[in-house]
């Protein structure tokens, strides 16, 4: 089955437009293609290279271009960080091995080679690169000016008739010497004719030199960036319908494929290929078919175990025979005995309080184990279970915060292996789920969200309570369009946060510097968290050079944030100033209170102007333009 290139047409058009307007006019360009692994970066690059040959507006102007002769690739590894000029040594060697290039250069450019006193320019360049690798750094600095000039001249000669494309994969591992050479090339106004494409995987270990350098060049406007975000909830059906037919998957199946693939097309391709190998999807008489129990087959095994247990707990009992079935099925699914026992004990603990299970839910405030239940009085509740050690839980104070825009935990119970938090029942969606579906939030909606969340925060601050955990899962959009902020007693929250492996992996991104460095929390700590959340809502990105949690923590503490994603906005200067204050490393430099924060955001909104904002709304779909399927939150 050939699954077609999907949903990156806008990014592809951007690359091709740049090639026409710059490369074909004897200019150079450098692109960073970033995103999570399997987000479609490689597919986009390959489609771009293919289009250079198939697009007549381009191929007719570069008739001698071919992937074999004019495209050079290098795959970085972790080891690359410690190998000076490794990328260019490899690329140069590729050129040397290309007989057609060597013949072409030796015949047509012999005069130039003699002027430079080089008998074989390509081999000489490779030797220079190898020599550089062995040199001491201080000696290298003395030679770099001359050698870089020669390398730039070589690239100019190499591409005088036909442009070249250099593709460097996993560029987050590039060594600092190769980075300096690239910098020398892109700052040369009469340099080579071609394109550097740096493919970067986020959420992976990286060279700090490489990541910081790349984002600094983006900030200076020397490098352009395309960031591939996870796709929307409907993408599995949209991506596969040209092959399998419209409506091949039910809505539930499409939702499962979306969740399992995490919105990444590369993951979806692997899942479908696995289904083909297992004959869960098969071709019969020229028509694609699927197994009757396809939904159960593709559902994550952990979720199947939870669903099975909920079914057995329907009568508020769990028999030995049911336990035997659970063990048999979990073994078939490849789940460990330890995990199975944990899930059984978790549901037994919840059931012991008189709760009746209704269904499992996908999003919680703190935990991945969240359930919609009814209490002994028949009232709907939401409970979440967070595994902890058998340690003393701090005393929970009476809930003193009662506000329309606050959702406070009603009960906290501790068991031997975990903590159970009970919330009231609210129909709506968590902001994390909305972001997964729609990526960015319109500025008007952001203003409404912040205004209403601030009302709840103001109530907390009135009692000198600092929230300290304002994250996408803490903000709820109710069915009526109002926003609430979930909150938990700060002492209990601090206790629970010690078990971070069960919290969302990115929760650290929303923490103020003082909360990560044993400083004193204050109102301004919550202002910082709101600022990070706002940046995420508006740009669908986080203001970090490296989103590895440990690296992000360092950037937060040191105040080294990256606002390059604001460059595309109409009032980017005002936005940078706003976030510069909101996300200042020093608490005293931030907005002093919630009213100042709100006034700053309102000022930005007014400065954009209604007409301009509506135009932007058309180019970036507003979240409210798509109907949202509501789920109970708490």
Report pLDDT for 123: 47
Residues in Cβ contact with 280 at an 8 Å cutoff, skipping those fewer than 6 apart: 290, 291, 294, 297, 298
Report pLDDT for 82: 72
Report pLDDT for 152: 79
3-class SS string, 44-93: HHHHHHHHHHHCHHHHCCCCCCCHHHHEEEEECCHHHHHCCCHHHHHHHH
Q: Rounded CA gap, 174 and 84, in Å?
A: 9
Q: Rounded CA gap, 454 and 483, in Å?
A: 10
Q: Rounded CA gap, 564 and 546, in Å?
A: 13
Does the structure show a pLDDT above 50 at 299? yes
What is the pLDDT averaged over residues 297-323? 89
CA angle in degrees (0–180, nearest 5) for 396-510-8: 135
What does the block give as tokens for 336?
């460990």
Residues in Cβ contact with 606 at an 8 Å cutoff, skipping those fewer than 6 apart: none
Report pLDDT for 237: 86
Write the DSSP symbol of residue 513. Answer: H
Does the structure show a pLDDT above 60 at 612? no
Strands 28-35 and 194-201: what pairing? parallel
Report pLDDT for 20: 93
Residue whose structure tokens are 């309102």: 602
Q: Rounded CA gap, 459 and 362, in Å?
A: 29
Q: Is the separation of the CB atoms in 457 and 608 below 8 Å?
A: no
Phi, psi of 21 (to 5 degrees): -85, -20
What is the pLDDT averaged over residues 295-318? 88
Report pLDDT for 89: 76
Does the structure show a pLDDT above 60 at 266? yes
Strands 418-423 and 287-290: what pairing? unpaired
When pLDDT is cut at 50, 70 and 90, the band that residue 367 belongs to is confident
Q: Rounded CA gap, 609 and 543, in Å?
A: 25
Q: Rounded CA gap, 537 and 483, in Å?
A: 14
Q: Mind listing the domains of the chain with CATH numbers?
A: 9-228 (3.40.50.300), 235-298 (no CATH), 456-464+492-627 (1.10.510.10)
pLDDT tens digits along 467-522: 877 888 888 888 888 888 888 766 566 655 554 444 455 678 888 999 888 788 88
Q: Is the separation of the CB atoms in 158 and 186 below 8 Å?
A: no
Report pLDDT for 325: 93
Q: Is the separation of the CB atoms in 465 and 411 below 8 Å?
A: no
CA distances from 312 to 248, 330, 376, 611 (A): 31, 14, 18, 57
CA distances from 548 to 205, 305, 558, 613 (A): 7, 31, 15, 33
Lowest mean pLDDT among 46-50, 125-129, 303-307: 125-129
Distance of CA 148 to the CA centre of its chain: 35
- Enumerate the β-bridge partners of residue 629: none
Report pLDDT for 197: 95
Does the structure show a pLDDT above 70 at 283? yes
The closest alpha carbon to 202, from 535, 536, 545, belongs to 545
Q: Rounded CA gap, 40 and 106, in Å?
A: 39
What is the pLDDT averaged over residues 373-398? 73
Lowest mean pLDDT among 170-179, 439-448, 603-612: 603-612
- 586, burial (CB in 10 Å: exposed 0-12, middle 13-18, buried 19+): exposed
Listed in order, strand segments (DSSP E) in 451-603 are 475-478, 483-487
> Model pTM?
0.73
When pLDDT is cut at 50, 70 and 90, the band that residue 406 belongs to is confident
Does the structure show a pLDDT above 60 at 442? yes
Report pLDDT for 391: 55
Report pLDDT for 140: 52
Phi, psi of 418 (to 5 degrees): 180, 175
Write the DSSP symbol of residue 5. Answer: P
Q: Which carries the bigger pLDDT value, residue 22 or residue 415? A: 22
pLDDT tens digits along 102-154: 444 444 444 344 333 333 443 454 455 455 555 555 555 666 667 777 777 77
When pLDDT is cut at 50, 70 and 90, the band that residue 401 belongs to is low
The closest alpha carbon to 457, from 469, 441, 440, 439, belongs to 469
Query: Across the chain, what does the average pLDDT equal?
Result: 79
What does the block give as tokens for 80?
């690359």
Report pLDDT for 466: 80
CA distances from 575 to 509, 528, 616 (A): 19, 15, 15
pLDDT tens digits along 201-255: 876 666 677 888 888 888 788 889 898 888 888 888 888 888 898 889 998 899 8
CA distances from 163 to 78, 91, 155, 509 (A): 30, 15, 10, 42
Write the DSSP symbol of residue 132. Answer: H
Write the DSSP symbol of residue 202. Answer: S
When pLDDT is cut at 50, 70 and 90, the band that residue 620 belongs to is very low
What is the pLDDT averaged over residues 88-103? 66
When pLDDT is cut at 50, 70 and 90, the band that residue 17 belongs to is very high
Q: Is the separation of the CB atoms in 33 and 44 below 8 Å?
A: yes
What is the pLDDT averaged over residues 333-362? 90
Q: Determine the 3-state secondary structure of 231 from DSSP.
A: coil
Q: Which carries the bigger pLDDT value, residue 62 or residue 87? A: 62
What does the block give as tokens for 404?
């329309």
Residues in Cβ contact with 129 at an 8 Å cutoff, skipping those fewer than 6 apart: 85, 88, 89, 92
What is the pLDDT averaged over residues 267-276? 92
Q: Rounded CA gap, 373 and 361, in Å?
A: 10
Report pLDDT for 438: 60
What is the pLDDT averaged over residues 603-610? 66
Task: For CA atoms 542, 544, 548, 552, give the dihedral sign.
Answer: negative
Residues in Cβ contact with 474 at an 8 Å cutoff, skipping those fewer than 6 apart: 365, 431, 467, 485, 486, 487
Q: Rounded CA gap, 49 and 70, in Å?
A: 10
- Enumerate the β-bridge partners of residue 35: 201, 228
Write the DSSP symbol of residue 440. Answer: S
Distance of CA 424 to the CA centre of its chain: 31
Report pLDDT for 608: 60
What does the block give as tokens for 216?
């600094």
Lowest mean pLDDT among 272-276, 341-345, 465-469, 512-516: 465-469
CA distances from 516 to 520, 521, 543, 556, 580 (A): 10, 10, 17, 8, 19
Alpha-carbon dihedral of residues 589, 594, 596, 597, nearest 10 degrees? 80
């Amino acid at each position: 089955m050939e699954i077609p290139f999907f949903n990156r047409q806008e990014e592809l058009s951007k690359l091709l437009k740049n090639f026409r307007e710059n490369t074909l006019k004897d200019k150079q360009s450098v692109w960073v293609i970033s995103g999570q692994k399997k987000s479609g970066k490689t597919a986009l690059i390959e489609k771009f290279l293919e289009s250079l040959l198939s697009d007549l507006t381009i191929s007719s102007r570069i008739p001698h271009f071919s992937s074999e002769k004019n495209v050079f690739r290098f795959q970085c590894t972790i080891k690359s960080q410690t190998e000076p000029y490794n990328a260019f040594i490899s690329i140069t060697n590729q050129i040397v091995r290309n007989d057609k290039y060597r013949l072409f250069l030796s015949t047509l450019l012999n005069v130039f080679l003699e002027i430079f006193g080089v008998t074989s320019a390509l081999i000489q360049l490779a030797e220079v690169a190898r020599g550089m690798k062995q040199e001491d750094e201080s000696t290298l600095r003395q030679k770099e000016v001359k050698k870089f000039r020669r390398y730039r001249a070589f690239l100019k000669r190499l591409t005088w008739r036909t442009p070249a494309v250099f593709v460097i994969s996993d560029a987050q591992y590039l060594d600092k010497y190769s980075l300096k050479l690239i910098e020398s090339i892109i700052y040369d106004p009469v340099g080579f004719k071609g394109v550097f494409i740096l493919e970067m995987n986020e959420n992976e270990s990286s060279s700090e030199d490489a990541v910081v350098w790349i984002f600094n060049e983006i900030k200076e406007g020397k490098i352009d960036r395309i960031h591939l975000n996870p796709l929307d909830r409907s993408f599995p059906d949209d991506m596969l319908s040209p092959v399998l037919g419209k409506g091949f998957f039910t809505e539930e199946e499409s939702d499962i494929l979306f969740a399992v693939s995490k919105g990444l097309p590369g993951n979806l391709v692997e899942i479908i290929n696995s289904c083909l190998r297992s004959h869960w999807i098969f071709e019969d008489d020229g028509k694609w078919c699927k197994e009757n129990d396809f939904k159960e087959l593709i559902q994550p095994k952990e979720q199947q175990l939870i669903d099975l247990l909920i079914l057995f707990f329907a009568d508020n009992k769990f028999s030995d025979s049911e336990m035997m079935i659970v063990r048999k099925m979990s073994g078939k699914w490849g789940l460990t005995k330890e995990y199975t026992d944990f899930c059984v004990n978790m549901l037994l603990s919840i059931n012991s309080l008189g709760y009746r299970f209704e269904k499992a839910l996908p999003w919680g405030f703190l935990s991945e184990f969240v359930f919609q239940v009814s209490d002994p009085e028949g009232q709907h509740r939401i409970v979440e279970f967070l595994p902890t050690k058998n340690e003393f839980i701090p005393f929970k104070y009476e809930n003193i915060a009662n506000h329309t825009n606050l959702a406070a935990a009603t009960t906290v119970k501790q068991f031997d292996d975990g903590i159970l938090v009970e919330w009231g029942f609210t129909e709506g969606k968590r902001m994390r789920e909305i972001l997964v579906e729609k990526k960015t939030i319109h500025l008007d909606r952001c203003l409404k969200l912040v205004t209403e969340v601030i009302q709840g925060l103001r109530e907390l601050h009135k009692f000198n309570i600092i929230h300290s955990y304002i994250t996408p899962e803490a903000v709820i959009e109710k069915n009526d369009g109002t926003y609430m902020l979930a909150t938990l007693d700060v002492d209990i929250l601090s206790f629970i946060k010690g078990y971070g492996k069960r919290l969302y992996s990115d929760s650290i991104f929303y923490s103020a510097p003082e909360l990560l460095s044993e400083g004193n929390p204050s109102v301004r700590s919550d202002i910082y968290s709101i600022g990070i959340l706002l940046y995420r809502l508006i740009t669908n990105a986080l203001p970090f050079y490296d989103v590895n949690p440990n690296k992000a923590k360092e950037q937060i503490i040191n105040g080294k944030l990256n606002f390059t994603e604001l460059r595309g906005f109409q009032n980017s200067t005002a936005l940078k100033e706003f976030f510069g204050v909101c996300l200042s490393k020093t608490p005293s430099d931030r907005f002093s209170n919630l009213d100042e924060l709100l006034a700053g955001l309102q000022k930005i909104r007014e400065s954009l102007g209604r007409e301009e904002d509506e135009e932007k709304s058309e180019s970036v779909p507003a979240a409210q333009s798509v109907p949202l399927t509501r789920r109970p939150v708490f």
